[in-house]
Structure 1
Amino acid sequence: MSSPAAPPPSPPVVPPPPPAPSSRWRSRRPEWAGRNYLLLTAAAIITNLGTHGALIAAAFAVLHSGGDAGDVGLVAAARTLPLVLFLLIGGALADRLPRHRVMVAANALNCVSQGAFAVLVLTGDPQLWQMMALTALCGTGQAFFSPAAEGMLMSSVSGEQVSRAFALFRMGMHGAGIGGAALGGAMIAAVGPGWVLAIDAAAFAVAGALRAFLDVGHIAARQPGGGLLSDLREGWREFVGRPWLWSIVAQFSIVVALIGATESVYGPLVARDHLGGARPWGLALAAFGAGMLCGALLMMRWKPRRMLLVGTLGVFPIALPSAALAVPLDVVGVSIAMFVSGAAIEVFGVAWMTTLHQEIPEEKLSRVSAYDYFGSTAMLPLSTALAGPAENVFGRGSALWGSAALIVVVTGLVLLVPDVRNLTRRTKRVTGLDEGAVPRAAPAAQARP
Structure 2
Amino acid sequence: MSSPPSLSPDAARTSSSRRRPEWAGRNYTLLTGAAVITNLGSHGALIATTFAVLQSGGSVGDVGLVAAARTLPLVLFLLIGGAIADRIPRHHVMVAANALNCVSQAVFAVLVLTGHPQLWQMMLLTALCGTGTAFFNPAAEGMLLASVSGKQANRAFAVFRMAMNGAGVGGAALGGAMVAFLGPGWVLAADAAAFAAAGALRAFLDVGHIADRAPGGGLWADLREGWVEFKSRPWLWSIVLQFSVVVAVVGAAEAVYGPLVALEQLGGAAPWGLALAFFGLGTIGGAVLMMLWKPRRLLLVGTLCVFPLALPAAGLAVPLPVWALCAVMFVSGTAIEVFGVSWMTTMHQEIPEEKFSRVSAYDWFGSVSMLPLATAVAGPVESMIGRTSALWGCAGLVIVVTAAVLLVPDVRHMTRKSSPAAKPVPVPV
Q: TM-score w.r.t. structure 1 length?
A: 0.91
Alpha-carbon deviation of 1:430? 1.9
Contact 2:17–2:25 (CA under 8 A) maintained in structure 1: no
> Residue in 2 aligned with 1:361?
352
CA distance in 2, matches of 1:382, 1:28: 48
Query: What do residues 8-60 of structure 1 show as CA deviations (whole Å, max 9, x unaligned)?
Result: xxxxxxx9999976544422211110000000000000000000000000000
2:189 to 192, 195, 198: 198
Structure 2 residue aligned with 1:404, among 373, 395, 406?
A: 395
Shift of 1:101: 0.2
Tell me whether 1:113 sits opposite 2:104 in the alignment: yes
Which amino acid is the alignment partner of residue 72 of structure 1?
V
How much does 1:428 deviate?
2.3
Which amino acid in structure 1 is aligned with residue 49 of structure 2?
Answer: A
Q: What secondary structure is seen at the aligned counterpart in 1 of 2:80?
A: helix
Residue 426 of structure 2 is matched in structure 1 by none
Partner of 2:296: 305
> What is the number of equivalent residue pairs in this alignment?
418
Equivalent residue for 2:385?
394
Aligned residue type for 2:75 = V
- Aligned-partner Cα distance in 2 for 1:358–1:430: 5
Deviation by residue 1:363-395 (Cα, 9 ceiling, x = unmatched): 000000000000000000000000001110010
Q: Counterpart of 1:38 in structure 2: which amino acid?
A: T
- Note the 1:130-209 alignment, pairs <5 A: 130-209=121-200
Q: Which residue of 2 aligns with 1:47?
A: 38
Instruction: State the alpha-carbon separation in 1 of the partners of residues 199 and 286 from structure 2.
Output: 28
Report the counterpart of residue 6 of structure 1 in structure 2. Answer: none
- Provide the residue aligned with 1:249 in structure 2: 240
Q: Aligned pair 1:351/2:342, yes or no?
A: yes
Distance across 2 between alignment mates of 1:428 and 1:171: 23
Alpha-carbon RMSD across the aligned residues, in angstroms, is 1.4
Partner of 1:441: none
Amino acid in structure 1 at the alignment position of 2:201: L
1:161 offset after TM fit, Å?
Answer: 1.0
Would the alpha carbon gap of residues 181 and 17 (structure 1) be closer, same or farther in structure 2, given more than 3 Å must change?
closer
SS of match in other structure, 1:184: helix
Decide which of 86, 96, 118 is 2:77's aligned counterpart.
86
* 1:74 and 2:65 are equivalent in the alignment: yes
Gaps of at least 5 residues in structure 2 are 424-429
How do residues 277-296 of structure 1 correspond to structure 2 at under 5 angstroms?
Answer: 277-296=268-287
Q: Max radius of gyration: which structure?
A: 1
Q: Secondary structure at the match of 2:212?
A: coil
Residue type of the alignment partner of 1:348: F
Q: 1:230-269 alignment to 2 at 5 Å?
A: 230-269=221-260
Q: 1:406, 1:237 → 2: CA distance?
A: 29
Corresponding residue of 1:385: 376
Helix, strand or coil at the partner of 1:373? helix
Equivalent-residue separation in structure 1 for 2:248 and 2:66 (angstroms): 15
Matches of 1:415 and 1:63, distance apart in 2: 40
